[in-house]
């Protein structure tokens, strides 16, 4: 299990057992290679700290502020000097019961 406070940029295989969504920005729509998509940035926290979480496409509508989530095989990138966590291509994001 990974604590949010321990996550570093360009780190993969991140496993977060339980984090809470504490804020959610408005989703943005985009077009890339002729395909439309949606992206949304949330802030999640655990007992050790908080981090931005990027969620994509169908997942945007699945999660709301207050939800507890679990991330398996996540990846941390960096955007404008800020760490951003995502489930990415190979990871999973799921809602868990509190």
Q: What is the pLDDT of residue 89?
A: 84
Encode pLDDT of 21-57 as tens digits. 999 999 999 999 999 999 999 999 999 999 999 999 9
- Rounded to whole angstroms, the Cα distance separating 45 from 80 reads 20
pLDDT tens profile 53-78: 999 999 999 999 999 999 999 999 99
pTM of the model: 0.92
Domains of the chain in sequence order: 4-96 (2.40.50.140)
């Amino acid at each position: 299990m990974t604590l949010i406070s321990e996550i570093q940029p360009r780190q993969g295989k991140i496993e977060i057992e339980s984090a809470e969504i504490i804020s959610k920005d408005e989703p943005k729509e985009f077009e890339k290679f002729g395909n439309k998509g949606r992206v949304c940035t949330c802030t999640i926290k655990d007992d050790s700290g908080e981090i931005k979480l990027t969620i994509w496409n169908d997942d945007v509508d699945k999660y709301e502020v207050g939800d507890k989530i679990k991330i398996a095989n996540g990846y941390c990138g960096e955007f404008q000097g800020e760490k951003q966590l995502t489930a990415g291509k190979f990871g999973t994001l799921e809602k868990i019961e509190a």
